[in-house]
Structure 1
């Protein structure tokens, strides 16, 4: 079957769909991925037909990192201003791809268009939650409020509020686009609840968040992209062999203008705590001005290879990075910027594997040094190893492919 997958965002939003597409390909299907154009080569590496979507996601990531300030309504405004000028072209490309699809698999930011064209062409569909939104468990509030201090009524109200805002902004955006381009679909945006009217795959670990309760919700665990053929460069191998396991530092897609300041804090922290480090530059180009021989500067490399060779990790708290560190059995110091990162930082801390997170606005050498020393304590390492064992026992993409095939039949 021809499976159309639709997602939008940074690598953390796309890589799980690459993993799903690779698994669908191995199962004999034809995966098609609609995603930002910068991920074309990643899709090609895994035999996935690629449909490029317009927009510079690095610009979006920079705006989120520098402007959202962990305020949900501000974040919605940033995403809306970015998405509206691109919306008509995105809709037309997805509409054209849907005509030849046998099923549509869509994500948080693409659920409205995914459901629209599944309905228009009579296709089976399912949604993917990379964080608990469409069918959250009763014991947490919406991800915008990462705290235990909200009672049951407040938690329920937070989900009603978030879903109302989400549906309103999706419907309003579609009306604006349809007024400009009536050919993108019917005048009204159809709506249905993932997990109730059609399938919902929760692609995160039950170790971090319990499953939802809707009848068509399936929690699979995280979706891993195994880098089976990747070979490290000789200088990296030499660095790893030259001393104890290093601390890995990665802020992923957080292309913040504060990168030089953060790089200085990270370098001073490693020097103060006597740790070696591998600093991944990321979209921010995180590069200290002077790099001692105890530091290795790296670009992208597969975390499933790198992290088991590390002592700990300092990162931004993206869903994929948080799960990767825990699966590798290493503790983390999480420095969340925006979006769902404070939520994952909170949930990872609750596992006992990590010390409390440090918001990026409060980051300092003193706080990061103390947190890193706490993370390197054997108690955290032992707890991280326990969490790793539980995460590795989850079915991941194998369960997702099985359910997709059932829903597509």
Structure 2
């Protein structure tokens, strides 16, 4: 089969899909990956054909970017919907043109992220199947509330309602521009309702979220999707640092940026209090020169290699980082910024491998120090190790590949 995989989001949103693309290639299928330019290096490293979609996701966290206010102050789901819709508004027409050009001979379009409605429209236009790919469970269920809401404890009927409400909000935020692009690029009629009844696969660990019993066969939790980058040799300076003492604390916030860097960095330095630490600047804009000597700064380093060598991982709670840290068998300290990060922070805390989270605007040295102390407890480390061993046995990519092949040959 020839498959086109489409997404738009941060580097973390794309990394798991790179792992799935590699699995599809290994199964003998032809795959091309369309995403933000930040995913280029990861795709190329796996030998995946890559095309950069229009836009610059990194610019969205800059002071005038669509996500800047969410990074600085946080915000509710309505503000999140407006922010991501603004990104789509600026790029939807070009995305539609680019995907059509690349997917002309494809057997199916697999879609995820902010470009989902574009992927669905193009599949409809080309008369080929569309398959959804998710890194957090957006399909309605009574088992838990929408991941884009605070992780409240609610009765099942209210959980179900929350999914329908949030999905409707997202559709309403995107609908006008999607319909304009459908008319302009494809000559398609406008859609009044969201698409329904298509296969959706989730790259989520069953040890963090079990398959909801009220889901139909077309919605599947497969297990997390990881990139196997094989043997990786660290730079000499990193290897020397790791060998020089006890396992360090890892600190990194991936694609998060635009926040109060000075406040957060001060809290981190004071809370770590001279202990050995690794720091990944990512998109934060933090100047590594400001860090004391107990911190070793790392560049892009495979998390699956690095995290098992850390004592704990302080991170933003993105789906990919949360899964990789858990699979590595180490505790987490989660400082969420926006979106589904609060959902994953709550799941890790519920698993007993992370303290209760604190929003990045509420972090101070004392609070972060107590969170680190919790993650350093032997029983927390023990639970993390047990969970990591279990997650390492999951075959999320292979599971997703089987569902895709079955769907394309027989239907689900």
Compute the TM-score of the two structures, normalised by the length of structure 2.
0.93
User: Structure 1 residues 192, 73: CA separation in 2 closer, same or farther (over 3 Å shift)?
Assistant: closer
Structure 1 residue 288, shift from structure 2 partner: 4.8
> What residue ranges of structure 2 are gaps of 5+ in the alignment?
none
**Alignment equivalent of 2:106, drawn from 60, 77, 101:** 101
SS in 1 for 2:370: helix
Moved more, 363-372 or 227-236: 227-236
Structure 1 residues 34-183: aligned runs within 5 Å:
34-62=34-62, 63=65, 66-68=68-70, 69-133=74-138, 135-178=139-182, 182-183=184-185
Which stretch of the first structure deviates more once superposed, 333-342 or 250-259? 250-259
1:405 corresponding residue in structure 2: 405
Matched with 1:214 is: 216
Q: Specify the alignment match of 1:187 in structure 2.
A: 189
Note if contact 1:138-1:155 (Cα within 8 Å) is conserved in structure 2. yes
2:5 counterpart SS class: strand
Conserved? CA contact 1:252–1:282, under 8 Å: yes
The equivalent residue for 1:291 is 291
| Cα gap change, 1:40 to 1:249, in 2 (>3 Å) | same
More deviation, 307-316/69-78: 69-78
TM score, norm. by length of structure 1: 0.93
Q: Is the 8 A contact 2:261 2:286 kept in 1?
A: yes
Structure 1 contact 125–407 (Cα < 8 Å) conserved: no
Q: Per the alignment, do residues 290 and 171 of structure 1 end up closer, same or farther by CA in structure 2, a change over 3 Å counting?
A: closer
Pairing 1:198–2:198 present = yes
In the alignment, is the contact (CA less than 8 A) between 1:115 and 1:125 conserved in 2? yes
Quote the offset at 1:338 in angstroms: 0.6
Match of 1:233 in 2: 235
- 1:188-229 Cα offsets, whole Å, 9 max, x none, are 2386655xx221101111222222412212211110012213
User: Could you list the runs of 5+ residues in structure 1 that have no partner in the other structure?
Assistant: none
- 1:348 positional shift: 1.0
Is the CA contact (8 Å cut-off) linking 1:132 and 1:202 kept in structure 2? yes
Matched positions, count: 402
Counterpart of 1:248 in structure 2 is 250
Q: Which deviations, in whole Å up to 9, do the C-alpha atoms of 1:362-387 show, x marking residues without a partner?
A: 10000001110110000110111121
Structure-1 separation of matches of 2:124 and 2:83: 29
Distance across 2 between alignment mates of 1:249 and 1:65: 22
2:369 counterpart residue number: 369
Give the corresponding residue for 1:393: 393
- Relative to structure 1, the CA distance from residue 140 to residue 162 in structure 2 (aligned partners, 3 Å threshold; closer, same or farther) is same
Deviates more, 1:5-14 or 1:77-86: 77-86
Measured after TM superposition, the shift of residue 285 of structure 1 is 3.0
Taking a change above 3 Å as real, the CA distance of residues 206 and 275 of structure 1, as seen in their structure-2 partners, is same
Q: Displacement, 1:256?
A: 2.1
Shift of 1:65: 5.8
SS of residue in 2 equivalent to 1:208 = coil
**How far apart in 2 are the matches of 1:218 and 1:190?**
26
8 Å Cα contact 1:146-1:346 kept in structure 2: no
- Asked if 2 retains the 8 angstrom alpha-carbon contact of 1:3 and 1:105, the reply is yes
Q: Distance in 1 between matches of 2:187 and 2:205?
A: 36
Q: Please, which moves more after superposition, 89-98 or 240-249?
A: 89-98
Change over 3 Å in CA distance of 1:190–1:73 after alignment to 2: closer
Shift of 1:107: 1.0
DSSP-derived class of the 2:154 partner: coil
CA shift digits 1:23-46 (9 cap, x unpaired): 111111111011012322321221
Counterparts of 2:364 and 2:289 in 1: how far apart (Å)? 18
Q: Does 1:340 align with 2:345?
A: no
Where 2:170 maps in the other structure, the secondary structure is helix
**Cα 1:132/1:108, change in 2 over 3 Å:** same
Do the aligned partners of 1:287 and 1:297 also contact (CA within 8 Å) in 2?
no
Runs of 4+, deviation exceeding 6 Å: none
Is contact 1:108-1:127 (8 Å) kept? no
Contact 2:202 2:222 in 1 (8 A): yes
Do 2:96 and 2:185's aligned partners in 1 also have CA atoms closer than 8 Å? no
Q: 1:81 to 1:110 in 2, by over 3 A?
A: closer
In structure 1, C-alpha distance between the alignment counterparts of 2:66 and 2:352, rounded to whole Å = 29
Contact 1:118 1:125 in 2 (8 A): yes
Deviation at 1:22, TM superposition (A): 1.0
Whether the 8 Å CA contact 1:254–1:283 is kept in 2: the answer is yes
